[in-house]
Chains A and B, each alone.
Chain A
Amino acid sequence: MSSKTKKFTPVQQEYQELAKKHEPKRPVLINCVKAFLVGGTICIVGQAVQEMFVHLAGFDEKKASNPTVAVMIFISVVLTCFGIYDKLAQWAGAGSAVPVTGFANTMSSAAIEHRSEGLVLGVGGKMFKISGPVIVFGVVAAFVVGILHLIFNPGATGGGH
C-alpha cells in the first residue's frame, strides 16, 4: 500500500485523505451478524434436505450429500431466475455468497445475463465468468495441499479410499 501511495502527487494524496473522510464505512459488525444468520439458515435448510434424503428416501448419510447439494443448487438457481437471490445478497453479504447456493448463483446469473449473446459464446463461454477463478484457484490450492500431504505424510497416500 505504501509503495502505491508514493506514486501519487501531494495534491492527489491530500485529496484522497479528504475523500476517505467522506467515505461511509461498511457496517462490518452488522454485516457479520447478517451473514451468520443467513448463512446459518441456508445450512439448516441444507441439513433438513439431507435428513429428508436419509430418513425418507433411504440414503445413507454420505450418499445423501450429493442429492442435497443438487437440491440446494436448484433452489438457488430458481431464486436467481426470479430475481430474488441478488436482493437477498445485498442484505446477507457473505451469508449468501459462501454456501454452495452462492456458487450456483454466480453461474446461473452469468448464464442468464449472457444468453442474448448465444448459447455457445454467450452461455457456454461466459457462464464461468465469476465462478471460473474459484475453480481455478480451488484446483491449484488442492494441488499444493496434495503435494504437501505427499511430502509430510507419504504413508497416507497410495492406499486409496
Chain B
Amino acid sequence: MLKGHQSWLFDNNPVISGAAAIVGPFEGQGPLAQDFDIVHGDLRLGQDSWEKAERMLLEEAANLAIEKSGITKESINFLVGGDLMNQIISSTFAARTLQVPYIGVFGACSTSMESLAIAANLVNSRSAKYAMASACSHNATAEKQFRYPTEYGSQKPPTAQFSVTGAGVSIVTQQGKGPHVTSATMGRVVDMGITDPFNMGAAMAPAAVDTIQAHFRDFKIEPGYYDLIVTGDLSKVGYAIANEMFEKNKFPIQQTVYKDCGMMMYDYEKQKVQAGASGAGCSATVTYGHLLRRMREKELNRILVVATGALLSPISYQQGETIPCIAHAVSIENEVRQT
C-alpha cells in the first residue's frame, strides 16, 4: 500500500522466513565473523575466476536461505537480485543455476534493500507466495571492474572503502516464523557533484539522508520508533557527513541508535581498511547475518536498514561525470506494525 509519496506499507505482514549470509576470508577476520553462516577461507572459493567465485557465493547463500526457511527451491516464485558487475552477471548466472523465475535489479550497493523491498511488495500484494531477495559483491571483481587489478600496487587515500566479499539472501513469505518486513521507502537519485570514486561515502551520504527523511515524513513517525537505523556503506567519512546533515536539517536522529554497516564489518585497527567497508554484499550480509541474529535474540525489535548505492560506472567517472547516488530503506520488525 502506498504511504505518503514514495513509501510502501506492507500491511499483509510478509515474513523473512529464512536468510543466509556468506562471506570471504577478510570479512571472517572482522568483528562480525560469528554472525555469518559460512566464512570462506579461500577468496576464490576454489573457482578459476573471481567472477565465478562471486556467483558461487550467491548460489551457496541462496541454497542455504532456502534450506533455513524450510521450503523447496521449486516453490520460490521469484528471485529478485542484483550485484555490482556489468550486466549483473553474478545474479543472472546464479539464477541460471537456480532455475527460479528471476527479476534482475541494479541499485549498486543499495541493491540489498532494493531487492528486499520489491520481494516484500510482491509477497504483500499476493503476487508471490515465496520471493527471494539477494545481493552480492566480491572484493576482487569490484576492484577489477571499478578500480585497478587486485595485485596492482596503488596507494589508496584515507577516504577509500574496501568492497566486501559476501552474499546475502533472504526468503520472504506470506506467513511463517521470522521478523516482518513492515515498510519500505524507495529513494530518488541524488547527486551533489562529488566526482572522486575514492570518496563514495561523501557521494552517498546526501542520498541516505534524503531517503531517511522521506521515510519518516511518509509514515509520520519519529526516528525513536526504531531501535536502530543503519545505513549501508557510508563508512567513516559519509557517516560523519550524514550526522552533520541531520543536525543541520534538525532531524532528531539522536532519538535512536544510528550506525553504518560499512563501519561494522571490519576492525579498523587490525585490518587497515581506510574509511570502511562497501559493496552490495556489505549491507546484505550485515543485515541478514548480524542484525537478524540480534533481532532473533530480541536485542533489537525494530530496525530500519537504509542501503546506499553509488550509481557510477567506470566509463562515467573517466568522462568526468559526477556520481549519482541512491538509498532505499526497508524496515524489519519482530512484531506486526500497528497502524
Interface residues of A in 85-114 (CB under 8 A from B): 85-86, 88-90, 92-94, 96-97, 102, 105-106, 108-110, 112-114
Best-buried of B151, B241, B272 by chain A (most CB within 10 Å)? B151
Mark contacts of A1-30 with chain B using CB atoms, 8 A cut-off: 1 yes-contact digit, 0 otherwise: 000000010011101101100111110000
Contacting residues, chain B, for A106 (C-beta < 8 A)? 152
Which of B149, B154, B202 is the one whose CB lies under 8 Å from A23?
B202
With A22-B237, A116-B48, A116-B50 as given contacts, are A15 and B206 in contact (CB-CB < 8 Å)?
Answer: yes
CB distance from A124 to the nearest CB of B (A): 15
In the assembled complex, the Cα of A89 lies from the Cα of B157 at a distance in Å of: 12
Q: Are A113 and B151 in contact (CB under 8 A)?
A: yes
Q: Is A31 an interface residue (CB 8 A)?
A: yes
Question: A residues within 8 A CB of B151?
Answer: 80-81, 83, 85-86, 105, 108-109, 112-113
* In contact, A113 and B150 (Cβ under 8 angstroms): yes
Q: Quick one: which of B48, B192, B199 contacts A15, CB cutoff 8 A?
A: B192
The answer for the CA separation of A81 and B49 in the assembled complex, in Å, is 15
B interface footprint on A103-131 (CB within 8 Å = 1, 0 otherwise): 00110111011101000000000000110
B225 at the A/B interface (Cβ < 8 Å)? no
- Measured between alpha carbons, how far is A141 from B148 in the docked complex, in Å? 25
For residue A94, which residue of chain B has the nearest CB? B155
Is B60 located at the chain interface by the 8 A CB criterion?
Answer: no
Residues of A within 8 A of B275 (CB): 24
Partner of A24, one of B148, B153, B159: B159
Instruction: For B153, give its contact among A8, A11, A25, A102 (CB under 8 Å).
Output: A102
Question: What residue of chain B has the Cβ atom nearest to residue A117's Cβ?
Answer: B49
Are A109 and B245 closer than 8 Å at their CB atoms? Answer: no
A80: chain B residues within 8 A (beta carbon): 151, 153
A8 with B241, Cβ < 8 A, contacts A24-B159, A109-B149, A109-B150 known: no
Chain A residues whose CB sits within 8 angstroms of the CB of B50 once the complex forms:
116
Contact of B158 among A16, A26, A97, A130 (CB under 8 A): A26
- Mask: chain A, 27-50; 1 = CB below 8 Å from B; 0 = not: 000010000000000000000000
Q: Judging by beta carbons under 8 Å apart, are A88 and B149 in contact?
A: no
B70 within 8 A of A: no
Residues of chain B within 8 A of A113, CB atoms compared: 144, 149-152
Q: B192–A105 contact, CB under 8 A?
A: no
Residues of B within 8 A of A90 (CB): 153, 155-156, 272
CA distance A110 to B151 in the complex (A): 8
- Residue B240 lies at the interface, judged by CB distance under 8 Å to chain A: yes
Interface contact A26-B202, CB-CB below 8 Å: no
**What's the least CB distance linking B129 to chain A, in Å?**
39
A19-B192 contact, Cβ under 8 Å, with A24-B158, A113-B144? yes
- In the complex, which residue of chain B has the Cβ closest to the Cβ of A88? B153
**CB-based nearest A residue for B243:** A22
B194 contacts the other chain (Cβ, under 8 Å)?
yes
Contact A116 B51 (CB under 8 A): yes
Complex formed: what's the CA distance from A148 to B206 in Å?
Answer: 51
Q: Return the CB mask of B233-277 against A: 1 if under 8 Å, else 0.
A: 000110011001100000000000000000000000000100100
7 A–B contacts, CB within 8 A, in A order = A19-B202, A19-B205, A22-B241, A86-B152, A105-B153, A109-B148, A116-B51
Q: Using CB atoms and an 8 Å cutoff, list the residues of chain B in contact with chain A.
A: 48-51, 144, 148-159, 191-194, 199, 202, 205-206, 236-237, 240-241, 244-245, 272, 275
Q: Supply 9 further A-B pairs (C-beta < 8 A) apart from A23-B237, A81-B151.
A: A18-B244, A19-B194, A26-B158, A80-B151, A83-B151, A86-B153, A90-B155, A90-B272, A114-B149
**Closest 6 CB pairs between A and B?**
A89-B153, A113-B149, A116-B49, A109-B151, A24-B158, A93-B155
